[in-house]
Structure 1
Amino acid sequence: MRQLLEFIPIALFFIVYQLDGETVSLGSWAYTVDGIFTATAVLMVATALQFLVSSLLSRHVEKRALWTFVAVLVFGGATLLLRDQTFIQWKPTIFNWALAIAFILFRYVGERTLMERTLGTQLQLPHAVWLRLNAVWVGNFLFVGALNLYVAYSYSEATWVSYKLYSAIGFTLLLTVLTALLISPHLKDDDDGGPDARAASDDA
């Protein structure tokens, strides 16, 4: 449910952008959609609502959701105030590269990676697997950030908007699959194992 909520603001951003130049009327009120600027405003509102609903459903504030909301607020606000879409186009890159830096730093601070610190109470995995997961996620963040800039500066604004929607879905699914492939053999080991596996299962 929460994963589905994450895509709603991006989907609305895409939909509103497609209405560029059209007039939306509600009774005596009428508004002409102003391309990426209206879409950005909708993205900001939708992200705020998504963050609120997600926090209420999980009954706690997830750090990733919080930083996503802050990033959209800052870069979206700059886009609207300065009437420059460059800020919202850079937002995915800055956000993903910031995550990559965080994952790299935590890799060398202490004995556990950021993912192990976050999910270690739910998953019992060998340290080498946590390191591989960390490397995969860092690679994903770096690649996604770089590809976003390539599309933004090499293609039209409309192409970038479409890319933003489909890449968000595509890369999320790809990262989920890769993560599952790395984790699943060890989950099977836990199921087939002895007392240690059962203990790990009880702790999860």
Structure 2
Amino acid sequence: MRQLLEFVPIALFFIVYQMKGETITFGDWTYTLDGIFSATAVLMAATIAQVLVTWLMTRQLERRLIWLTLAVCIFGGATLVFRNEAFIQWKPTIFNWVLAIVFGGSQFIGEKNLMERTLGSQLQLPHPIWTRLNLLWVSNFLIVGALNLVVAYGFSEETWVSYKLYSAIGFTLVLTILTALIVSPHLKEQEALDK
């Protein structure tokens, strides 16, 4: 449920961007959607709403969600204040590369990397598998960040907006499948030992 909730702000960003030039009227108030700037404002509002809904549902917030919300508000706010889409286009790259540094650095701090610290209470895996998982996620964050810049600067703004929606779904799906492929043989071993 929470994974689906995380796609709502990106989907709304995409939808509002596609509606650029359309006029919204509420009584005497009229607003014309202006592409990336209206979409960014909606992204910010939807991300904050997502945090509130998550908090109301679970009474807790993951650090990653808090950092994501701060990044969206800082880069989105800069986009709106300076009327420059480069800020919101750089947000995914910076956010993903910071995650890559944090996950990668965790390999060298303490006995457990970040993946094992996060999921170790739920999964019993050998240390080399935790290392492989952590490095998979580091690679994902590095690749996602780099590809974001390639699309942002090598293609049109409209292509980048579409890429944001479809890549978020695609990379999450690929990462989930690869994680499952790495973990599943060890789950079967654990089940056999538990019997």
- Which shows bigger deviation, 25-34 or 104-113? 25-34
Tell me the equivalent position of 2:92.
92
Tell me the equivalent position of 1:202.
none
Aligned with 1:107: secondary structure? coil
Tell me the equivalent position of 1:155.
155
Q: How many angstroms apart in 2 are the aligned matches of 1:119 and 1:42?
A: 33
Tell me the equivalent position of 2:74.
74
Cα deviation code 1:103-149 (max 9, x no counterpart)? 01111001100011111111111000000001100000000000000
Alpha-carbon offset, residue 183 of structure 1: 0.6
Tell me the equivalent position of 1:180.
180
Using the size of structure 2 for normalisation, the TM-score is 0.98
Q: How many angstroms apart in 2 are the aligned matches of 1:184 and 1:59?
A: 30
* 1:8 pairs with 2:8: yes
Tell me the equivalent position of 1:50.
50
Cα deviation code 1:19-72 (max 9, x no counterpart)? 111101223321100110000000000000001111222221210110110000
RMSD over equivalenced CA pairs, Å? 0.9
* 1:146 pairs with 2:159: no
Length, aligned pairs only: 195
Alpha-carbon offset, residue 191 of structure 1: 1.0
Cα deviation code 1:127-172 (max 9, x no counterpart)? 0000000110000000000000000000000000000000000000
Using the size of structure 1 for normalisation, the TM-score is 0.94
Identity of aligned residues (%): 66
Tell me the equivalent position of 1:31.
31
Q: How many angstroms apart in 1 are the aligned matches of 2:56 and 2:25?
A: 32
Cα contact 1:55–1:62 (8 A) shared by 2: no
Gaps of 5+ in 2: none
Gaps of 5+ in 1: 199-204
After TM superposition, what 4+ stretches of structure 1 lie above 3 angstroms from structure 2? none
